[in-house]
Structure formats: C-alpha cells, structure tokens
Amino acid sequence: MGKIRVIQYGVGPIGAGMVRLMLSKPAIQIVGAIDVDPKKVGRDLGTVANAGRELGVKISSDANAVLRAGADVVVHTTLSHLKSVSGQLTDCLNAGLHVVSTCEELSYPFRKHPELSQQLDEVAREHKVVLLGTGVNPGFVLDKLILTLAAACQNVTHASGHRIVNASQRRQPLQAKIGSGMTVEEFHAQVKAGVIKHHGLPESVGMVADGLGLEVAKIEEVIEPVIAKERVKTDYFDVPAGKVVGVRQVAHGFSAAGKVNVDLKLEMYLGAPDSVDTVSITGTPDLTLTVPGGTHGDLATAAITVNCIPALFEMRPGLRTSKDTPMCYFPGIA
C-alpha cells in the first residue's frame, strides 16, 4: 500500500494541529490544503500551520480544484454547524474522497438533522466512501468511552458522563472563552449570543442513547456560570469572589415518561479540582471508568481525528460516527 494522500480542509488552529501531527505519520502524504482566508491563500501550508518547514503545498480557496487533483482522504476542520458545512462535505464526497471531520454536529447528526444525515449518507454510499464525524468531545470522552465500557455489560439501564477541566492550567484563549472574570449578567448575555457554548453535548447524548438502546425522547441542555466563592488567580485572570470563573454545561436525555436515561456534564473553570473524565453505567454489572487528569482537549482532538484515518478504509461506506469506529492509535507505518 502506498502512502495515504490527505487534503487538509480548513487551516485554522485545529487544522494546523492536524497538519503538524500528520507530518509525524510516515504513512501520510499531505497533497493539498483548502482555506478561504485571504491571509492564508497562496501561502505554503507548512508556514501557515507552523510546521517548522515548507511542505510544497500551497493553500487554495478553490476547493473543487484541490479535491479533484488526486487524493484519498480529506481532514475537514472548518465549522461546528452541519448546515454550514454540508456543501463542503458533499463536494468532498462527490470527488470520491473519504472524509473525517471535526464538525461537532456531524459527530451524531441523526436526531438534529435527519434529512441532511440521510442525504450525506446516500452521497457517501454512492461514491463508496466513508464520511466520519469524530473528535475528543463530542466523539470520545462522553460517548465512545461509555459505549466501549458498556461492551462489558449484560444489561444497561442508565449512563452518565462527567468531564471536569481545571482551566487554571490551560492557555489564555480557553480561560477567556469560558467567561472568566465576567459578571453573571455578562456571562448570560454571552450564552444568549451563542458565544459561550460547548458544541456537541446533545450529539453525545444521542449517540449514547441509541448505542445503548436507552429511550431518549427529549434532550435538554443547560449552560450556567460557575461563580468564584473566593478570589481565583491564574497567569491570565484575577477573579474576585462573586464573578464568573467558568462554565457548567449539562445535557439530560429524558424518556417520554420523563425519566433521565442519559446525563452528561461538562465543567470547565478556574480553580476546579484536578481534571478528570468519569463515565458510569448502571446495569449488570454497574461499571465506572475514569481517566485521571482527563483527556487533553487540544492534543486529543488532533490525535483522534488523525488516528481514525486508517479505519476509513475498513468501515462500511456511508455516514459513520465514533460509534462505528474501531478506535485505535495510528502508528503511521507506511
């Protein structure tokens, strides 16, 4: 087998991380790059992605020209909403390419976008390629780990997941993004404006519910501020008691009768306890799994996406998710 020829679609911070990681995999050859940002178009991908060297691949805004020039896989990292990217994804599939995408709504799109999901599935199957939505969250911590653990259960009646991220140790943009230092009013305004929001929790609830056969007729999501009980100081913020140090986002999956069958909670705030991911299943037997220290968000997003590339060639064509993927590390053997 020759090298896997990959096109990077979207060269923002996430896409740049994918590029740097792919350069460590001898089995991958990056053959093209797409971005619409005029500051990036025409420049070398290696330069823009901070890869430390030029790659001889120019970033182009002409998606179809790049997609039709000969490749195997598209790594797609542009936007969070499926409607915004379905045209891009369809172009990739129509070019006969496998796609792995970090679009959060693609991680389990069947409930929110049933018709669009069906259309994308049909285009992928028509071209005998795989369209895979994945990532660390959604796509791994609060869904795939639950499904994997449940493989050891004879019966399952409830599932939950809880991700705590102590944001004190994280980079400045993340600390800002979760509302650090805001008043409660400012926080709620930012939530209302859609600025403070982790995308993908309802998608994770859907994947868990369907994977475990748990009835979920309604999914409710709540985003609330975590308030400093005392002053919290980091390298970037100095938050007095009473102001916001971060976010708590919860999604519940209810049965028609109102029973909570799936509940997922994501907490990211300054001064949180040690980061940890915990998933629990009620069933025969009850089982709990923890990742002490938590799964590193930035590293894992790129890792999971790139590690899924070999599986694209193994899976049944169509629209697939983490649920269908035999996740593993990609050693990068050529």
User: What's the CA gap between 198 and 306, in Å, rounded?
Assistant: 22
Distance of closest approach, residue 187 Cβ to a second copy, in angstroms? 30
Q: Which alpha helices (H) appear in the chain, and where do they start and end?
A: 13-22, 45-48, 63-67, 82-94, 114-126, 144-150, 172-177, 184-192, 201-212, 297-307, 309-312
Antiparallel, parallel or unpaired: β 73-76 and 98-101: parallel
Tokens 């409607």 locate to: 83
DSSP letter for each residue of 219-266: EEEEEEEEEPSS-EE-SS-EE-TTSEEEEEEEEEEE-TTS-EEEEEEE
User: Considering beta carbons, is residue 198 or 320 the nearer one to a second copy?
Assistant: 320
User: Considering beta carbons, is residue 88 or 107 the nearer one to a second copy?
Assistant: 107
Residues near a second copy, by CB under 8 A: 21, 24, 136, 140, 144-145, 147-156, 211-214, 284-285, 287-293, 295-296, 299-300, 302-304, 306-308, 314-316, 323-329, 331-333
User: What's the CA gap between 10 and 89, in Å, rounded?
Assistant: 12
Distance of closest approach, residue 191 Cβ to a second copy, in angstroms? 28
User: Considering beta carbons, is residue 208 or 272 the nearer one to a second copy?
Assistant: 208
CA 76, 82, 83, 87: dihedral to nearest 10 degrees? 30
Distance of closest approach, residue 306 Cβ to a second copy, in angstroms? 8
Distance of closest approach, residue 316 Cβ to a second copy, in angstroms? 6
User: Considering beta carbons, is residue 146 or 232 the nearer one to a second copy?
Assistant: 146
User: What's the CA gap between 143 and 155, in Å, rounded?
Assistant: 17
User: Considering beta carbons, is residue 130 or 196 the nearer one to a second copy?
Assistant: 130
User: Considering beta carbons, is residue 86 or 107 the nearer one to a second copy?
Assistant: 107
What is the DSSP code (8-state) at residue 274? S
CB 301 within 8 A of CB 101: no
Distance of closest approach, residue 29 Cβ to a second copy, in angstroms? 18
User: Considering beta carbons, is residue 97 or 145 the nearer one to a second copy?
Assistant: 145
CB 85 within 8 A of CB 78: yes
Distance of closest approach, residue 205 Cβ to a second copy, in angstroms? 15
Distance of closest approach, residue 18 Cβ to a second copy, in angstroms? 11
266-to-160, 161, 162, 247 alpha-carbon distances in Å:
11, 8, 6, 8
User: Considering beta carbons, is residue 259 or 323 the nearer one to a second copy?
Assistant: 323
Distance of closest approach, residue 332 Cβ to a second copy, in angstroms? 7
